[in-house]
Structure 1
């Protein structure tokens, strides 16, 4: 019996928020000074023109959501807020001491964990502390993730007053059965309340994150979730595929059985149904997993060829240098990656000796930089070209041979020195990127590393 495209291509694969992906970093040859040198190089090249991006990881959550694979600390102890913020500001000051002038910040994103675990006053203290050593770049964009159950009007107003204009709320699914399974019980009323508050205050981009492929989720659940979403008219949507990675320690994904999760054609039908409903309601597909109204900056960036992707996901503005502050955060100088200590105790310990809390990284080779550009093109523009000598690499003929099968299946179109992903091929963009991933091809993983691509 002939396999369907989903059965054929639904294999483990990276999400490509970076290249090389973290499991393929050359940690053995990476030293602390690599990061410092490339950080300074990138700052010199980019700060005056575009500014830098900051990702600030705020890891605390009051309860564990069993769909989540993020680095978090489950606690109801809010006295942990102040010491953590002081540590983040200490890390920021160490970065600023390396520089010869004040950085201009183009983007800030507060992620987690649950950023709204922190009080509005502590978040204000954090942002004020950041800008005591920095300035705001032209056309800056600040965003944060809000939990509908604990985001208050004061949170929204305070962050708006500090310059934040984009907020994303984690919805996941409105089915009570699904919510119970993933331990994320939040009524529609809570989401509606924070969405309307954000609109009244003046946020220009309000996002909702919803997920397909969750345990016990059925077509009717996806339809109901999107119908409710439609009534609130968020500006953009992340419509993510649930990543089942129970081997990641502490993520809680063993709270339901493997057979409770929709798979293959069943899961793809959930996505297709959701996608069609979103498009019927004026949302346009942007890159992978994202949809936006024409009035949103993400749509404008996609249309103008300025969409960017990094460890924070898709962005409407590009910066060459991104600094990750906080436990487990990853920084990107374009020339190298560096990740902070994953345990809060280790993070604090390194900062106490006045050193950046980096425990691993990767220095990109010339080959890495070329492949990275191709994968970025594919993820942001659904196409790439090797016509320019600076984008050509010697394995291109092998890559094209590997892609022949996908061309035959109608997933992409080959041209003399470029390729274009078709509409049918968009759901398989991770698979197409994998053909370019030389690290993955040279050393296929022998243990579970990645979630399924579809």
Structure 2
């Protein structure tokens, strides 16, 4: 089947699988804060000493709204909001430390947003020192943060480096001015060049640039030009994301342009395929979905060693069973359960004032969920999975196999006696292949559109 007809067949709404089950299929009725705390404590006791835990800290403030963004954020120029928020996050962390009792061993910290560099270097210092005061640092650890090239200062970079941060990712998106105007993110190449140079001079070991294809008014020439400019700075790793056009979820934030201004279907796929060819030609290796890395980077090495992991922070170089999300809207993962914090600042603060961990929804994973979760993780991180081990089999496997057989006929994967391997042609369709395993999605198709298109 030709590439265009494959796109027409498989370009359907689908999850990005930062979790399984995906958030719309969480069973809130069977979930409670008490159950979350029990499963978290169980996972923590099982794994804290041996592998440590991960922390994701959501810093939600942005000075202006980027219309491509699907994150939870609060747009404001009032920097006096920084200090109360830092204090709230530290209170939440204190509540978790009281629950866990033993000192957490922190293997990963990631500061996401929003715009983490909205916060002053002084306030970020206060935040991280407050976190580390109640924890140990694992011998092998990775601390990372997201920096906005327009407001990341050398002081931000030096302060976080001195605290142990060695990886920074910069949001680039696209260098064409018309595209930048459409997404309300005016960001000159010179700003990205400067903050990348600063990070190198200070000693950061991994610098990442985030690029997006499928943005409004974006042409193939724009994508290739952005990649060439990016390559001139030689970031260690890259994210090359598909723009998720979901205005029915994000409202007016994604209505700064018309639907017809957004590249679609085979046009959008061409942006990816030609962009990918250019990245490979520059020595970047494809890692999982949407990610590329140079051979010296820890993400490439993890991919080669089979230790790459995926969670709500995206791809990480190593796995921890426990990931605690701090801050409004953050999602935590105990492997056995998921929990999401309150989504508004007011509700988040109110729960903390009552000395409650500010979780408002979640999901306790069944044995079936755990099996399917592992299959989807395998596919997302290694492009293959197996059910040779009886513990990885499940009753609906024969139904899944019939769908996989059709995908094999289309050249997306190779069926083996007790497993599958995704082909080179199938890598762009990885979300569709994961959907074949998604039993929640099979049993209950959403009545309204809740996912972005897979291609």
TM range (shorter): over 0.9
Task: Give the 3-state SS of the residue equivalent to 2:96 in structure 1.
Answer: helix
1:430 aligns with 2:431: yes
Range 140-149 or range 25-34, more displaced: 25-34
CA distance in structure 2 between the partners assigned to 1:138 and 1:366 by the alignment: 33
CA distance in structure 2 between the partners assigned to 1:35 and 1:137 by the alignment: 25
Instruction: Tell me the residue number matched to 1:235.
Output: 236
Task: Give the 3-state SS of the residue equivalent to 1:429 in structure 2.
Answer: helix
Task: Give the 3-state SS of the residue equivalent to 1:234 in structure 2.
Answer: coil
| TM-score normalised according to structure 2 size | 0.99
Task: Give the 3-state SS of the residue equivalent to 2:352 in structure 1.
Answer: helix
Conserved 8 A contact 1:320-1:333:
yes
CA distance in structure 1 between the partners assigned to 2:162 and 2:252 by the alignment: 34
Task: Give the 3-state SS of the residue equivalent to 1:178 in structure 2.
Answer: helix
Q: Where does structure 1 differ by over 3 angstroms across 4 or more consecutive aligned residues?
A: none
> How far is the alpha carbon of 1:250 from its aligned partner?
4.8
Instruction: Tell me the residue number matched to 2:288.
Output: 287
Conserved 8 A contact 2:60-2:115:
yes
Instruction: Tell me the residue number matched to 1:219.
Output: 220
CA distance in structure 2 between the partners assigned to 1:143 and 1:152 by the alignment: 16
Q: Deviations over 1:333-357 (max 9, x none)?
A: 0000000000000000000010000
Q: Deviations over 1:290-332 (max 9, x none)?
A: 0000000000000000000000000001100000000000000
CA distance in structure 2 between the partners assigned to 1:318 and 1:250 by the alignment: 35
CA distance in structure 2 between the partners assigned to 1:309 and 1:129 by the alignment: 27
CA distance in structure 1 between the partners assigned to 2:242 and 2:364 by the alignment: 30
Task: Give the 3-state SS of the residue equivalent to 1:184 in structure 2.
Answer: coil
Conserved 8 A contact 1:61-1:114:
yes
Instruction: Tell me the residue number matched to 2:387.
Output: 386
Conserved 8 A contact 2:249-2:450:
no
Instruction: Tell me the residue number matched to 1:312.
Output: 313
Unmatched runs of 5 consecutive residues or more in structure 1? none
CA distance in structure 1 between the partners assigned to 2:436 and 2:252 by the alignment: 30
CA distance in structure 2 between the partners assigned to 1:17 and 1:35 by the alignment: 19
> How far is the alpha carbon of 1:401 from its aligned partner?
0.1
1:206 aligns with 2:207: yes
Instruction: Tell me the residue number matched to 2:410.
Output: 409
Task: Give the 3-state SS of the residue equivalent to 2:69 in structure 1.
Answer: coil
CA distance in structure 1 between the partners assigned to 2:373 and 2:234 by the alignment: 35
Instruction: Tell me the residue number matched to 1:142.
Output: 143
CA distance in structure 1 between the partners assigned to 2:373 and 2:415 by the alignment: 20
Q: Deviations over 1:391-442 (max 9, x none)?
A: 0001111001011111001000001101000000000000000000000000
Instruction: Tell me the residue number matched to 1:74.
Output: 75
Conserved 8 A contact 1:407-1:414:
yes
| TM-score normalised according to structure 1 size | 0.99
* Pairs aligned (count): 454
> How far is the alpha carbon of 1:249 from its aligned partner?
3.7
Q: Deviations over 1:166-193 (max 9, x none)?
A: 0000000000010000000000000000
> How far is the alpha carbon of 1:100 from its aligned partner?
2.4
Unmatched runs of 5 consecutive residues or more in structure 2? none
Task: Give the 3-state SS of the residue equivalent to 1:248 in structure 2.
Answer: helix
Task: Give the 3-state SS of the residue equivalent to 2:208 in structure 1.
Answer: strand
CA distance in structure 1 between the partners assigned to 2:251 and 2:425 by the alignment: 36
CA distance in structure 2 between the partners assigned to 1:452 and 1:99 by the alignment: 40
Task: Give the 3-state SS of the residue equivalent to 2:267 in structure 1.
Answer: helix
1:4 aligns with 2:26: no
